[in-house]
Chain A
Amino acid sequence: MNKAKSSIWVFGDYRNYFQNRVTLQLLARAREMAPRIGAEVCAVIFGHDLDEYVGEYIAHGAEKVYALDHPDMAEYRVGPYVTLMTAAVRKYEPEIILVGATDFGREFAPRVAKRLRTGLTADCIGLEINDDGLMVQTAPSFGGNLLADIVTPEARPQMATVRPGTFQELPHDYEASGEVIRLPLPDDLPRPRVRLISAERLPQREQRLEDAKIVICGGRGMGSKTKFKKLFELARLTDGEVGATRPVVHSRWSDPDTLIGQAGRHVSPQILFSFGISGAIQHTAAINDADFIIAVNKNPNAAMMKLADLAIVADANQFCSALIRALKARIRD
């Protein structure tokens, strides 16, 4: 009997397909890793009326799609999905499973790993195949201050959840062909112990802090409520959103809604401006997805300055005013 070709599986998380393309990003990364271990790239998807997604996955790099398409599976439900996934993995024995670090993925993947008694690295921001053919999974810890490289040497499959935005999706190719393998709905699925009573899509705010490409975050070092207000002007000019640290919110310089940190929001802008912020872990834990951090602080040794790509030693308020003036002069209409 010839051994089946090894495979990399990407879990098809399509609930917010138009907002969150992490599945496509993972297919792209899987395509890059696959030749290193002679694997094929597969997507696996559960739900109902899936043809459109199956087509998209093939167009974005899946050579094979395992699809369970059934009206009973129309709702996203962790319990049954875990059972289905575990059964499929036992049958087809993929070498690697990648799951997007969405809320669903972060609940689903640990439970699949547990049932399969294998390792799982959470929220990876890097994946590589090393010379031993193992997937090296890079995960942040301590609020992104440290990076750990983790492998699963023996247990199989190797599993990782990956932050959305870590990899770039491939351009689509609707001419690409792929094989679709239909998975049957088992008739012995256990009765779910968690029941969904209702689900409503949350109203989309006009622009959410979480989605902003530029976030302008201010801390106690801005000095006063009046001075802090300048950050809103900077936000208007840059089409950004204002975030704040806890002392700022406590002093009512800004709304509780703008709190960034462990007790507040988590942001992932292309550029994060940080004005007068010390860089306590309760705050920085929620900004480590920012691509580029520009920190302004009068203390060059503040933890925030060490985390920054660009650390500007200056008075935060004075620098903010000067930046506003400079931007006004530079924006071409």
Chain B
Amino acid sequence: MLKLIVCIKQVPMVSELPWDSRTGTLKREMADGMINPACKHALEAALQLRHRYGAHITALTMGPPMAQECLHEAIAMGADRGILMTDRRMAGADTLITSFTLARAIEKACPDFDLVLCGCHTSDSETAQVGPQLAEELDVAGVTYAEHMEVHGRTLRMERESDDFLETLEMDLPGLVTVTTRKYTPRYAPLTGLYDAFDAPDILTLDADALGLDPKVIGMKASPTRILNVRSATAEKENIVLKGAVKRMINTLFHEFGDKISGAMGKDLKTHDHDDEEE
């Protein structure tokens, strides 16, 4: 039976900016957590592999205690068990240190895995780096944006689109893939599954001590990158607002931005309206 590990991250559920323009900080605590959407595709891929070949699926996450919720949801979708790595000292890790820490948990809790599946990126920091770096850290084969996965003995065959090429690849197992969001549409967790997942969840919680990790090698302090500041991207934009009669607004649009539009269209435009010329 295949042993699969799916790495999932809890991210803030934001449709509004999680940004307090008054204090200039992230309103993280205000945003509800949800499973990072791309990670759900990875979980779905694991569930489909299990359906075809039989597998045991471990969902793994690192985060604050609240991140346990996304393990419940993963179990409700069909994962067999969850592992939560939570430790204040792990907070603020960049991708280098996150992949290091995830690897230590995998070695501790599931050393004989066949395949690690990761989402291809997260909706909050969007680096897409943890997957490839985790493959390096575990010293196994790795492929990004995998789709159409098939297991043949000790190899995984898959396709992917990469820079305008459609590639077919074969990878030795154990290995790691990040899963495309173009295939593997995540299933909904059935309500009964959700109840069960909250009733008797099989979740193992690990901290730095359980992993035998020196606090000096984890978290923000160990991370080579430093965030100097975070600012709102929208503040960089002029964000001109137009209101009023449609005709007037259209005149303004062509008057102010006609050259820009004409350039992008590759067509010559009369950007100055008749009305303007009279003014």
Contact = CB atoms under 8 A, between A and B. Distances in A.
A147 B230 contact: yes
Interface string A278-297: 11111001001000101000
Interface in A292-333: 292, 294, 300, 303, 305-314, 318-319, 322-323, 326-327, 329-332
Contacts of B204: none
A330 B267 CA distance: 10
B270 interface: yes
Contact of A194 (B37, B170, B181, B241): B170
A245 interface: no
Contacts of B141: 79, 193-194
Contacts of A117: 96, 224
B265 A193 contact: no
B161 A202 contact: yes
Given A152-B224, A262-B38, A331-B269, A122 B166 contact: no
B240 A140 contact: no
B246 interface: yes
A322 B250 contact: yes
B95 interface: yes
B162 interface: yes
Given A136-B228, A142-B14, A202-B164, A213 B266 contact: yes
Interface in B106-150: 123-129, 132-133, 135-137, 140-145
B224 A110 contact: no
Contacts of A155: 224
Contact of A332 (B94, B249, B269): B269
A309 B229 contact: no
Nearest to B37: A262
Interface in A234-291: 238-240, 262-263, 269-271, 278-282, 285, 288
A196 B166 CA distance: 11
A196 B234 contact: no
B225 interface: yes
A153 B225 CA distance: 7
Interface in A196-244: 196-202, 204, 213-214, 238-240
A148 interface: yes
A239 B161 CA distance: 27
B16 A119 contact: no
Contact of B239 (A139, A239, A263, A309): A309
A117 B38 CA distance: 26
Interface string B224-240: 11111111111011111
A117 B126 CA distance: 20
Interface stretch (A35-43, A56-64, A99-107, A178-186): A99-107
Contact of B226 (A120, A150, A199, A306): A150
B30 interface: no
A145 interface: yes
A168 B128 CA distance: 25
Contacts of A263: 37, 181
Contacts of B205: none
Nearest to A283: B15
Nearest to B129: A110
A305 B35 CA distance: 27
A144 B233 contact: yes
B15 A153 contact: no
A198 B233 contact: no
B164 A238 contact: no
Contacts of A199: 165-168
A91 interface: no
A90 interface: no
A193 B230 contact: no
Nearest to B140: A193
B264 A213 contact: yes
A3 interface: no
Contacts of B241: 300, 305, 311-313
A2 interface: no
B225 A152 contact: yes
Contact of A146 (B96, B230, B254): B230
Contacts of A331: 267-269
Interface of B: 14-19, 26, 37-38, 94-96, 99, 123-129, 132-133, 135-137, 140-145, 157, 161-172, 175, 181, 223-234, 236-243, 246-247, 249-250, 253-254, 257-258, 260-261, 263-271
Given A106-B129, A110-B129, A152-B225, 18 more contacts: A19-B164, A113-B133, A118-B224, A123-B128, A150-B227, A193-B141, A194-B169, A196-B169, A263-B181, A270-B264, A294-B257, A309-B237, A311-B242, A318-B246, A326-B250, A330-B269, A330-B270, A332-B267
18 contacts: A103-B144, A110-B127, A114-B137, A119-B225, A120-B129, A122-B126, A123-B126, A139-B127, A148-B227, A148-B229, A155-B224, A194-B175, A199-B165, A240-B265, A270-B263, A294-B253, A307-B237, A329-B270
Identify the 6 closest CB pairs spanning chains A and B, nearest first.
A193-B141, A119-B224, A119-B225, A155-B224, A122-B127, A110-B129
